[in-house]
Chain A
Amino acid sequence: MAIPQVTIGQVQTIIPSAADIQEVDRGGQKIVFSGIIDGRKYALKFMAPNPSQVAGQNSEFLDDVTSRARREVETMQECSTPHLVGMGPIGLNTTYIAGNPIIYFSEEFVEGNNLRSYLQSNGVLSFPELVRLAFHMSEAIKAIWQFSKIHRDIKPGNIMRRRDNGDFVLLDMGLVFDLQDDSLSVCPVGTPLYFSPEQMDFNNRRMTMSFRSDLFSLGIVMYEMATGKHPFIEGARTTWEALGNIANVTPRSPKELRPELSEKLSDIITRLLAKRPALRYRSIELFQRALSEVEPGGGVQ
């Protein structure tokens, strides 16, 4: 799928209210610019619909890029929590550049680092930060689940740590899965190394997928941010082997890798990584209660 060819000048023409436009990221399917609108900085996302899937202007069929953008915007509009990236003033729109359709919208611009780069430059999180990360992500998962939706792509690269207050924010709702919408694909999407076991169960996914799948992915993130290691890639030479580990291997306890971690916090992370959803937490409230019982500091007193 082609990355849309959009220049800063074209963005300025499409969104004349935006000032100080800069390109900040160029991903596989989208270009992201930053721009100031009404005195606030926003991310301006541009994507090209997948031409091979567009069946015609009047068709109800949407290509996957447009579907994802629509889901992302809908989810941002529905959910209200500081731990999910918020919607900007520009809703989902379509424009044409050189005769090619381009879709775009704006969202809150989160200043800070994502956890992948944080881990690379700063190493593991402190214990209070780990608990804080878990609380903030649980709020984000709860906000999405309130609409019977799951994020499906929780990973370090999609979690930002705000520079101003250290809060954690979950990004990229493009893969959000609505359990009540039969029209959406149940094909496995997301980042395989952060899949839950049920995300790989092609036969019965609609039945078994719930927010507990997102809790599993959060468990992998917490394990990584606590120990510096991914729990399921040890001994795996390929992604398929890592997926096999996710389905079948019980990882070493986080405390084994970071002995100063409290037993309680280590147990919480281990429980998030349970193979069966029934063995994780049945509600966000129970998960948050368990977190609140972790000793202040999260480590050995």
Chain B
Amino acid sequence: MSILAQCGYGRGNKIEQGLNDGVIRGVIMSPRDERKDRLEQTIQDWGGSHPTALVMFDPQFYAASLNNPRDGHLSEFAYYHNNSNLGRTHFSGTRIQGYVRECLDYQHETFGSNVAYLISPTILFDAFRDSWSQISLNMAVESADYHSSLNSPQPLLISLAVSETAFQTIDAVEEFLDALTEIDAQGFYIIIRRNSQSIQNAMEGTPFGRFMYFCHVLTTINEYNVIVGYSDWHSFLLEAAGVTHTATGWYQNLRQFSLARFQPSSGGRRPRKRYSSAPLLSCPLINPELQDIHLANLLPGVLSGSHHDAILQNGPAAGEPNWTDEISCLAHWNSLNALFQRLSALPTQSARIQEAERLMRNALTLYAQLGSRNVSFDPRTGPDHIREWQGSLQEFRALAGL
């Protein structure tokens, strides 16, 4: 289990740096955010410079079923350009065949072995029993069929883009799993569409626990690879559930997926700088939260232990100007990666679950300790999300019988 970079706008040198530092294992490229020629060249270059990196191309075909999406460079890609603005009536069997072929052919013929997997096209759906979910399933089945006819393709990941509300009905989740596990593919690339987007706004406890169970059935029981895109701190819980990799990026909209990413930007100011604290399982504001922790002489207990910490060690407020976006991103990958490594070193799933429970208990204790020293946190920093996760883990354990 390891972290992948979820690419978006403003890639810079973060990926190369993350790969060189060993804090990410690979990258999922975003055609929406990058010129086609540049993206293709980059993937080709990485094939030479980082041959062991897991490089993937998310076709983001789901944007084709959105109403006038802000789709950036996606329209430069023929598989999308030829098929955008699709309504429900545009998904007959023959048309699905066409979408799948164009999308997989593009990846297979353009990237060859420079990508680790081919990723199937999909559409977004809100419930496991709605007609869009059936379309998504049909696209998945068609993708597996077509993939089996290609000449020496890279392994196939079936992509799914599901709203978090879909996990409210467990019967529907199980029915969908029954259908999904009939598909012959290497695994799945899953995006959970969040309904709201705010820092540390964890999915509700029960639906997230069911999503963990969903991943557990696919990975631990059925031995598929599962990559969960647009992830964040909850990645360590997904690791405990058996997920193979999670992907996370540098902006908040690359750590939680919402349709806002495809809607006109509302502008706004630059987000305030935050620090990725593995002990707190959260990203406190550098100023004032981390600064207050420093003043309470408790800073060492919340630092994640990366070499970037040196910038903030002698006073977060003073170091803040040097805490660049790139460093912030690398430090975040580093923190998540450290959690993963800790969990994946454990021999059994029950040991990983116990370790995840321990990490959450320790974080809550730390929040309480900081609270007792008058350090207060923005609600978006925590610790309510940890209590939600504890509920999620309980739900997961009950469903999985662990």
Contacts and interface: CB of A to CB of B under 8 A. Distances in A.
> Which of A198, A208, A277 has the most B CB atoms < 10 Å from its CB?
A277
A239 B352 CA distance: 43
B223 A277 contact: no
Given A208-B178, A210-B182, A278 B217 contact: yes
Interface in B213-228: 217, 221-223
A278 B179 CA distance: 8
A156 B222 CA distance: 28
Contact of A278 (B174, B184, B223): B174
Contacts of B174: 276, 278
Contacts of A198: 178
Interface string B170-181: 000011011111
Contacts of B217: 278-279
A207 interface: yes
> Which of A277, A278, A282, A283 has the most B CB atoms < 10 Å from its CB?
A278
Nearest to B214: A278
Interface residues of A, number: 12
B178 A282 contact: no
B221 A279 contact: yes
Interface in A252-301: 276-279, 282-283, 286
Nearest to A204: B175
A276 B182 CA distance: 12
B241 to A, nearest CB: 15
A208 B184 CA distance: 16
Summarize B's interface: helix, strand, loop or mixed.
helix
Contacts of A277: 178, 181
A131 to B, nearest CB: 21
Contacts of B182: 210, 282
Summarize A's interface: helix, strand, loop or mixed.
helix
A278 B182 CA distance: 8
Nearest to A286: B223
A105 to B, nearest CB: 33
A207 B222 CA distance: 19
A204 B181 CA distance: 16
A235 B181 CA distance: 33
A208 B179 CA distance: 7
> Which of A198, A204, A276, A282 has the most B CB atoms < 10 Å from its CB?
A282
Interface string A192-211: 00000010000010011010
A210 B141 CA distance: 15
Contacts of B178: 198, 208, 276-278
A170 to B, nearest CB: 22
Nearest to B182: A210
B246 to A, nearest CB: 22
A204 B174 CA distance: 13
Contacts of A204: 175
A77 B223 CA distance: 34
A277 B179 CA distance: 9
A276 B171 CA distance: 10
A207 B179 contact: yes
Interface in A128-163: none
Contacts of A210: 182
B176 to A, nearest CB: 9
Contacts of B180: 278
Contacts of B175: 204, 208
Contacts of B221: 278-279
Nearest to B176: A278
Contacts of B179: 207-208
Contact of B177 (A207, A278, A283, A286): A278
Nearest to A277: B178
Interface string A204-229: 10011010000000000000000000
Contacts of A283: 184
A276 B176 CA distance: 11
Nearest to B400: A279
Contacts of B177: 276, 278
A222 to B, nearest CB: 19
Interface in B164-193: 174-175, 177-182, 184
Nearest to B222: A282
Nearest to B174: A276
Interface string A58-78: 000000000000000000000
Contacts of B184: 283
Nearest to B177: A278
A100 to B, nearest CB: 44
Nearest to B217: A278
A111 B177 CA distance: 42
Nearest to A211: B182
B242 to A, nearest CB: 14
Contacts of A286: 222-223
Contacts of A207: 179
B355 to A, nearest CB: 24
A204 B180 CA distance: 15
A208 to B, nearest CB: 6
Nearest to B179: A207
Contacts of A282: 181-182, 222-223
A204 B184 CA distance: 21
> Which of B177, B182, B217 has the most A CB atoms < 10 Å from its CB?
B182
A286 B221 CA distance: 10
Nearest to B134: A207
A249 to B, nearest CB: 15
Given A208-B178, A278-B221, A282-B223, 7 more contacts: A198-B178, A208-B179, A210-B182, A278-B181, A279-B217, A279-B221, A282-B182
22 contacts: A198-B178, A207-B179, A208-B175, A208-B178, A208-B179, A210-B182, A276-B177, A276-B178, A277-B178, A277-B181, A278-B174, A278-B177, A278-B178, A278-B181, A278-B217, A278-B222, A282-B181, A282-B182, A282-B223, A283-B184, A286-B222, A286-B223
Closest 4 CB pairs of A and B: A278-B177, A278-B181, A282-B222, A282-B181
